[in-house]
A = this chain, B = another copy of it.
Amino acid sequence: MLAAHGFGGLTLRAVAAELGATTGLLTHYFPAKRDLVAYALDLLTERTASRPRRAAGDGLAALRAALLDILPLTAEATDSNRIWVSSWDTALADPALSDDHARKYEQSRVRLGELVSAAQRLGELPAGDPARIAAGAQSFVLGLVVQALFNPTAFPPRHQVELLDDYLASLASPTSSGGDHPASA
């Protein structure tokens, strides 16, 4: 339902109907709609977090697996991402929800940063601030999600994986500006 109509078309009655219940139940548990929305987002987060993850090796392979887990490669993941993207409208209009999103993405970056560190320790990635590399990787995947959602024909799963692998390959190759910090102001 959410995947089809987005967060904008989310109504208490629709949720209640899908639940086989009425608005009375919802208002009983959620004082206001905002709370229902917040809960829906939390539930989405949790469900996304507890999704069966693909087997991850060590180092770079683990990072790749984590990033692949985000992409809309399956119908289920597509729905999930669709809901996620559609929540951005609501979230951007509400500072509290906005902070929530910021926190979630930051948490995800931290997790990716650890994987980056591990890959660096294994020598699979060149030196460089793990947090920065993680932020870059998250950006890449996030943007790829958006493009894939709008144009699934141009971004079939295979192509998404190719693009991600391109990105990871370019990460793996050392750059001239590897880990130096040019005394930025």
Contact = CB atoms under 8 A, between A and B. Distances in A.
Contacts of A105: 147, 150-151
Nearest to A179: B166
B143 A146 contact: yes
Given A143-B142, A144-B139, A89 B132 contact: no
Nearest to A144: B139
A4 B154 CA distance: 32
A163 interface: yes
Contacts of A87: 89
Interface string A66-98: 000000000000000010011111111100001
Interface string A128-142: 100011011011111
Contacts of A91: 150
Interface in A137-185: 138-147, 149-151, 154-155, 158, 161-163, 165-167, 169-177, 181, 184
13 contacts: A4-B93, A82-B92, A86-B89, A106-B154, A132-B163, A135-B155, A136-B140, A136-B163, A142-B142, A142-B146, A169-B175, A170-B175, A173-B173
